Amino acid sequence: IVVTGVTLSDTGATWTYSIPSVITPPDYITNAYTPTVTAPDESYTVYTAACFVYSRLPFFNANSRPSCKEASHATYASGGTLMESEAKRFVSNPPVNTGLPSQIATTLYGSAGPVQKQVAYTYDNYSNVIEKDESDFYSCSGTPCAAATTPPNGWLRKTFTTYQYQNNPAWLSAYIVN
């Protein structure tokens, strides 16, 4: 079942969903999967998916199938003016793709020009976040703005997390994280 629209009974407001057909391998590598959601005020958001094959286990005696998640989205006003975008980069440690975000760049577009902020994540070998870096908003150029590796003004805040197994290796053999 694919939902193509929802109308609220109390207000009559309608949300519409344009969802393309499912992409099958190897097409998910070369073709973007871009569903669109249109709000009652005619603003709309276009999503782009990134597809990962997490496992080499066969699925119904066929090749592994991808699992897709949101890689980016862009929100437009009813007239087509870009208002906001978000782009994600994912951790990729071939041959294993974790599908975890390594960087998220959020950009707001306004009359004073675009501004962007970033969040970057570092993970341990067990996919636990050990560092989260956050920037303040800064001016950027382009539509969309390209995310820099490091924000021009540096990081506003860095959060470091230490897990018990890092201080006490016995926790590894207790199967807490591995």
Residue range 38-63: mean pLDDT, rounded: 73
Segment (H or E) for 28: helix 27-30
**Average pLDDT of the segment spanning 104-109:** 94
**H or E stretch including 122?**
strand 115-123
Instruction: Look at residue 154 in the predicted model and tell me its pLDDT.
Output: 92
Distances (CA, A) of 60 to 18, 24, 66, 75: 29, 14, 14, 38
How far is it, in rounded angstroms, from Cα 34 to Cα 18? 9
> Distance (Å, rounded) from C-alpha 17 to C-alpha 7?
12
Half-sphere CA count of 119, side-chain side, radius 13 A = 11
pLDDT in tens, 112-126: 889 999 999 998 888
List Cβ neighbours of 90 (8 Å cut-off, separation of 6 or more).
50, 52, 71, 97, 98, 99, 100, 101, 102
Q: What is the pTM of this model?
A: 0.80
d(CA 130, CA 159): 8
- Of the candidates 59, 71, 58, the residue with the CA atom closest to the CA atom of residue 28: 71
Residues found in the chain: 178
Q: To the nearest whole number, what is the mean pLDDT of the chain? A: 81
